[in-house]
Amino acid sequence: MTPIAIRRWAWTHKWSSLVCTVFMLLLCLTGLPLIFHHEIDHLLGNAIEAQDMPAGTPKADVDQVLAAGKAMYPNKVMMYMSREADDDRIWNLTLGDNPTDINYKSIAVDSRTGKVIAEAKTEGTLMTFLFRLHTDLFVGLPGLLFLGFMGLLLLVAIISGVVLYAPFMRKLEFGTVRRDRTPRTKWLDLHNLLGIVTLVWALVVGATGMINTWAELLLKYWQVTEMAEMVAPYKNLPVPTVLASTQKSVDAAQKLEPGMNVGFIAWPGTPFTSPHHYGVFMRGKEALTSRLYKPVLIDAQTAQVTDSRSLPWYLTGLLISQPLHFGDYGGVLMQILWALLDIATIVVLGSGLYLWLKRGVRAVADKEVADTGSQPSNAASPALARAVQAGEAP
């Protein structure tokens, strides 16, 4: 690689890193506890848990579950009903003043007894605060897109750092940390070592984080394209005033996809369906496929299936990237691995900032030497003078 090419790559690495470093540090620091958000919520008493019952205990009728939840807020309308991929003991009900209400209520109902367990806290918990800070900086879509751009800069910084790593390490063995040199040199070696060790993880987490910031835009595109096509035959029909049984609608979707489980149900009028349909979103039963949904549209008056199709590639990519970003699909061991790599990345980012600040101090010192017209007595060249000034000469 020519000196000019190296300088260009170095400039790209420096400025892409500097612009995104503070925000990447914020994301790594807030992301660390989010890896263990279930465990932390449990310790803080914010987790909702169902009581243990014998295996094979039958599930309550879905309409019974809905009735229990609505009894708490009889003047609100149903929006969504969902359950976790790895725990079907709880139905989470979302109710609002209208199908698109952002000030909704969330109620957990036992799926076996059909009785309310608790009203979930949607605001005011530590994990909720960290999640909002991590995802959109509390400013919604602008915050999402801004952090997505920071993620793009991180990818540029990683790639340019890899390009620069090869010539840098040409005279050093892999993993070398020159402990007998100055603190700046030791941190430079540690920065490069941890950077290359965490390379693949940082690329994966950075890329998936960037993709996740596009979620709202991708969903809106799907709604105005494929979803609009699926509900087009109902466009000019009057909105139904009486809805069919939710249990019958679920049964119809389950009959269509017997090898899948119900992930969540969207009520007519919500963004995931139309005013004429229940949207029953099915998902697979395996670790990976449990994150992938297939929408089944059910006529809200007749409880008959009207359309069903797989999600497009861009939403499939989004759904795969979400669990991969937080490492929450491989059990405790994967969570620990993700946490260790997150900590290593914090060190990489922090050391990069330290190296830049120390380089600025050295540049000021060089300028002072030049302004006074003096040089250290043992400096045989400007390069050696800078090394002596920085304390890095042998």
Taking only the tens place, the pLDDT of each residue in 164-212 is 876 766 666 666 777 777 877 787 877 777 888 888 899 999 999 999 9
The pLDDT of residue 56 is 84
Q: For 128-139, how does the pLDDT look when each residue is reduced to its tens digit (9 = 90+)?
A: 999 999 999 999
Least confident range from 46-50, 303-307, 363-367: namely 363-367
Q: pLDDT tens, 298-328?
A: 999 999 999 999 999 999 999 989 888 888 7
Angle, vertex CA 60, rays to CA 57 and CA 61, nearest 5: 145
Share above pLDDT 70 across residues of the chain, in percent, rounded to a whole number: 88
**H/E stretch holding 296:** strand 293-299
Residues with Cβ within 8 Å of residue 123, at least 6 apart in sequence: none
Calculate the average pLDDT of the chain: 86
SS3 387: helix
pTM (2 d.p.): 0.83
